[in-house]
Each structure stands twice: as C-alpha cells, then as structure tokens.
A = this chain, B = another copy of it.
Amino acid sequence: MSTTGRGLHGRVLDILGPEITAGEYPPGSVLRTDELAQRFDVSRSVMREVVRVLESMRLVESRRRVGVTVLPTCEWNVYDPQVIRWRLAGADRPRQLRSLTVLRSAVEPVAAGLAARNATAEQCAELTERALGMVAHSRGHQLEGYLVHDMAFHRVILTASGNEMFARLGDVVAEVLSGRTHHDVMFEDPDPAAVTLHVQLAEAVRERDAVRAEELTRQITVGALQELDILAP
C-alpha cells in the first residue's frame, strides 16, 4: 500500500511523515537532524534526504542554526498524494474526508460535462462496463467488487475529461471511495439510487449529453456529501 517503502530513507519518511501530519509536533516545534538520525538509527545523509522531502511538501522548514521547524497546517501541500494518504490514515481522518468530498462535489460534475464532450469510444465502453459491474455487485455483500468498479468508473470520468488536473484527482477519489467502504460505516449494500445514477451517467456520456452528465454527477456527489452528514453530523 505504501508507495514509499523503497529504501531506508522511505522507511523513515513513512514514520516521520504520519507523525507530523497527525499533529504530534505542534507548528513551530523544532526538530534536530542529528537527534532524528539517532532516533531512527540512520546516517545524517539519509536523514537530510528525508528532511528535504518533508520540506518540499512544506510540512517543515529547515533553517541554519535553528533546526527543522514544523510548519502550520495552512502551509502544507495538501494535494500531495503522500500527504493525503498520511492524513487519511491519521487522527483527523473525518475532517480530511469531508474536505476531499467537497472538492469532489466541485470537480466531478464539471469533469463529467467535459467527459461527455471528449470521451473516446473506448472510454465510453469502459464506463458502461463499469456501471454494469456496479449493478452486478450491488446486492448481497459484494462490497469489495462494487468498490473496484466504482473507483474505476470515476477514474475514467476524470481521465476522459481531457484535463490533466482533473485526471490527477483519480487517486484522491479512489482513496475517498475506498475509505468509505473500509473504514467508515457502510450500509450492507450500496444505495440503489446511486447505482442507477451511475448507469444513467454512462449513458449520458455515451450520448454526448454534457448538461445531463453534469447534472447526474452533481446528484451523485450530493449523495456522497449527505452520506457524510449522516455519519458525522
């Protein structure tokens, strides 16, 4: 699951990153490279590489004669996939999930509208296929199978939009959907209305009906938001 794992430096990052994003060190806290190197039992070279990466994520700032200062949340590169993963795995997971779902509700409808204009025949086909897959797994405790198709469906929509900024949110949406199934309470079977909306959306894209695609996606994301409100009002 963890993308980083490769190398000693990645292992340290996978411990220190989550600690920082979890807020274990309040903003302004100062860490010393030497101490960290000692704590993780790695050389200063490795520790320096870790600090550089954390710095590029704007989680910390390294200054001479001061040390490695933890930056306030508002500075963090919250779109960094790594940061998103760390935060979703941490304590403020609910807040994070809500932020991301709101982002979804803004982006996906527009993306779907563009997809209706730009999707290739292959993309239309996969969309239909995935929607049917969702239908097939919508009853009788097949949540895992349903999730696979749901994630793929939304990824295709975002990719087919033709906008690379949208496309890059595929991973984020996948994380959100996955989290809903695995971590949060999910009813035995998915909402039948939502399944229908997906089928209709695939249809709208295939028929190049941008307005309808946008509206349908808006309904899907509104549903996702309402689901959150029920869980954590």
Binding site for B on A (CB under 8 A): 9, 45, 48-49, 52-53, 55-57, 73-74, 77-82, 99-100, 102-103, 105-107, 109-111, 114, 163-168
Closest residue of chain B to A52, judged by CB?
B49
Shortest Cβ distance from residue A160 to the other chain B in the assembled complex, whole angstroms: 14
A79 closest partner in B (C-beta): B79
Judge whether B48 and A103 touch: CB under 8 Å. no
A48 to B164, CA, bound (A): 29
Q: What B residues does A167 contact at CB under 8 A?
A: 74
A59 to chain B, nearest CB (A): 11
Interchain CA distance A106-B104 in the complex, whole Å: 10
Instruction: Kindly state the separation between the CA atoms of A138 and B82 in the bound complex, as whole angstroms.
Output: 42
Name the residue on B nearest A221 (C-beta): B110
Chain B residues near A74 (CB, 8 Å)? Answer: 164, 167
- Could you say which residues of chain B place their CB within 8 Å of the CB of A105? 110
User: In the complex, what's the smallest C-beta–C-beta distance from A166 to chain B, in angstroms?
Assistant: 7
Question: Residue on B with the closest CB to A103?
Answer: B165
